[in-house]
Amino acid sequence: MVALVAGSAVLAVQAGAAPGGADGSAPARSPGAGTSSAARPAGLAPQADFNKDGYEDFAVSAPKGAVGGKAKAGYAAVVYGSANGADTGHRQILDLDSPGVAGEAMAEDKFGSRTVARDFNGDGFTDLAVHADNYYEMDRRFVTILWGAKDGLTSGALLTDSKGAEGEDMAGGDFNGDGKADLGVGAPGEDGPVDTGSGDMGAAWVLPGAAGGLTTKGAVSFAPSDLGAPGAGAALGLWTAE
């Protein structure tokens, strides 16, 4: 998937293929039938089917949205697919104050600054990784994984810098080919704020997917020096290819 930033919104859309068949035509589908993401390889950018009903769902976030009077706390929204298309009557609004979601919303959190949709625990439901970035105001930056389930997205794991999930940018993929999606995260300010223009070499991590969700067991981390690349001011991890 590609995270397209349009104003304050981040749209989760499918990438890596023509919009239809090989000639760009619309793909053939049975009337009223969705397509399940469960049959797709975990590392591919899936259609987001958070409740696994066979219809694609639309995830959109508003990182500058207010939550309970807290400016720019941010939230994520899902409009679920149906036989008649995207159904705004079947929707979810999720923020850090939502019941079951770990954490607490704070002003300037910008929850939803980045999103990645993948099946991280291999249960056939698409999950949503959501990045919050309150680095310059509160030195607060983390990733929340919202798990897919039959009723839609639910609460899930909270990843922090200590687990290599600073998450300035993120990308999903099945990097070890085990059928469970992994999450790559970038930390361009690992040596200090990116705007210093000097010592911020940056770093990146890959957190493997597992039956219980993302794990640090078998995680891979690297800095520019590990790649034999120049380091000073490199800000490795500022962007990832998704």
Q: What does the pLDDT read at residue 47?
A: 75
Pairwise CA distance, residues 27 & 66, whole Å: 39
Q: What is the structure's pLDDT at 58?
A: 95
Q: Which two tokens stand for residue 153?
A: 């997205």
pLDDT class for 42, splitting at 50, 70, 90?
Answer: low
CA-CA distance, 115 to 4, in Å (whole number)?
10
* 175 contacts 182 by C-beta, under 8 angstroms: yes
User: What 3-state class would DSSP assign to 76?
Assistant: strand
What average pLDDT does the structure give for the chain?
76
Coil, helix or strand for 136? helix
Nearest one of 118, 121, 101, 139 to 185, comparing CA atoms? 118
- 76's tokens: 């994520």
Q: CB within 8 A of 229, min separation 6: which ones?
A: 236
Q: What is the pLDDT of residue 68?
A: 94
The pLDDT value recorded for residue 242 is: 65
Instruction: Identify any residues that bridge with 202 across adjacent strands, giving them in sequence order.
Output: 236
* 55: pLDDT strictly greater than 80: yes
Q: What is the mean pLDDT of residues 176-186?
A: 89
pLDDT at residue 39, as a whole number = 55
Region 14-43: mean pLDDT is 41
Give residue 135's pLDDT.
63
Q: To which residue do tokens 């639910």 refer?
A: 154
Q: Report the share of the chain in percent with pLDDT over 90.
A: 37
Tokens 């990645």 correspond to what residue? 116
What's the CA gap between 181 and 172, in Å, rounded?
Answer: 7
Query: What's the predicted TM-score (pTM) here?
Result: 0.73
Tokens at residue 232, please?
A: 């000073």
Q: What angle do CA 81, 87, 88 make, to 5 degrees?
A: 130
* Residue 165, pLDDT score: 53
Arithmetic mean of pLDDT, 109-134: 91
CA trace torsion 171, 106, 102, 126 (10° rounding): -30
Q: Which residue has the higher pLDDT, 6 or 103?
A: 103
pLDDT at position 239 is 76
Residue 80 structure tokens: 């679920």
* C-beta separation of 141 from 130 below 8 A: no
Look at the chain and count its residues.
242
Strands of the sheet with 75-80, listed across from one edge? 2-6, 9-13, 58-62, 75-80, 87-94
pLDDT, residue 155, reads 78
Residue 55 CA, distance from chain mean position: 20
Residue 41 has pLDDT above 50, yes or no: yes
